[in-house]
Amino acid sequence: MRIQFSKFITYAALLAVGASLFAQQQSTPPAAGRQGPGQGAAKPQDTEVWQPVPKVVTPGASDAAPPSDAVVLFDGKNLDQWVSSRDKSPAKWTVAGGVLTVNKADGNIETRRTFRNYQLHMEWKIPANITGAGQARGNSGVFLASTGPRDAGYELQILDSYNSETYVNGQSGSIYKQGIPLVNPSRKPGEWQTYDVVWTAPTFNADGSLKTPAKVTVFYNGVLVQNHFELNGETLFIGPPSYKKYDAAPIKLQAHGDPSEPISFRNIWVRELN
Ligand code: MG
């Protein structure tokens, strides 16, 4: 009798599974959360979401290569995507051998396009023969949003921070004078380094007041150094940070005025996340 009961249970269970599979094949995918109280036990399908289907993006041949939906800002050939920050004339930094090198006399350069939220990949190199100390040793930077002339905006610092001391909220990988990098994964001068950035732009109310602050995540040579860091405003050389309203903004590269040898860039691309 006990064995027969056991067989009955097994048979009933198989029937239940069969009915469930049949129901899955017959019905369209249910919306998540449709199951209400008193309508029976929750089912796996209750929490399945089928729409919208994520857009297909073809990744690059390597993780450093631009995926199919990237805007390529520098691929080693020319500066068509860049202008001088000073007067918006074509950028005059040096392009040679697939590499872009800062021209300090020409000042900062910025993208022709403007961006709000995005993912950015870039590679940069402090020259092997770098000289100087602290902030005067390979200083550059990427302004994640350029909100005006010169150094106005939100700077992710670039500097030689390999065995080189400076204030920690100004070392490489810092959000200048705001976000100290979590660790220091700097490579030696002469070696290529990478930044992979997720930038969430601040938003503003119609009266110019801040609605939501900017947030940034940065991987430096593949190592997390800024983890969804919330900014207090634009990065300033002197004084506390503060916000000023902007909509979309160029990405800007810094020609720092120190006399150390200029740094280089390559493979810069961005994916808009608006
Ligand atoms: Mg800088």
| Interval between CA 75 and ligand 1 midpoint (Å) | 23
User: How high is the pLDDT of residue 83?
Assistant: 98
| Whole-angstrom distance, CA of residue 25 vs CA of residue 29 | 9
φ, ψ for residue 173, nearest 5 deg: 90, -5
Q: Are 196 and 121 in contact (CB under 8 A)?
A: yes
Nearest one of 144, 168, 138 to 156, comparing CA atoms: 144
| Interval between CA 152 and ligand 1 midpoint (Å) | 12
| Interval between CA 212 and ligand 1 midpoint (Å) | 25
Contacts of 100 by beta carbon, 8 Å cutoff, 6+ apart: 74, 76, 79, 93, 94, 264, 265, 266
| Interval between CA 252 and ligand 1 midpoint (Å) | 11
Model pLDDT for residues 43-56, shown as the tens digit of each residue: 999 999 999 999 99
Q: Are 102 and 125 in contact (CB under 8 A)?
A: no
pTM: 0.85
Token code pair at residue 26: 């017959």
Nearest one of 159, 167, 155 to 241, comparing CA atoms: 155
Contacts of 215 by beta carbon, 8 Å cutoff, 6+ apart: 199, 200, 228, 229, 230, 231
Model pLDDT for residues 98-151, shown as the tens digit of each residue: 999 999 999 999 999 999 999 999 999 999 999 999 999 999 999 999 999 999
Least confident range of 26-40, 81-95, 147-161: 26-40
Contacts of 185 by beta carbon, 8 Å cutoff, 6+ apart: 173, 220, 221, 222, 223, 225
Percent over 70 (pLDDT), the chain: 86
| Interval between CA 138 and ligand 1 midpoint (Å) | 9
| Interval between CA 208 and ligand 1 midpoint (Å) | 27
| Interval between CA 57 and ligand 1 midpoint (Å) | 33
| Interval between CA 248 and ligand 1 midpoint (Å) | 22
| Interval between CA 78 and ligand 1 midpoint (Å) | 23
Q: Which domains does the chain have, with CATH numbers?
A: 71-272 (2.60.120.560)
| Interval between CA 160 and ligand 1 midpoint (Å) | 10
Amino acid at 116: R
User: How high is the pLDDT of residue 108?
Assistant: 98
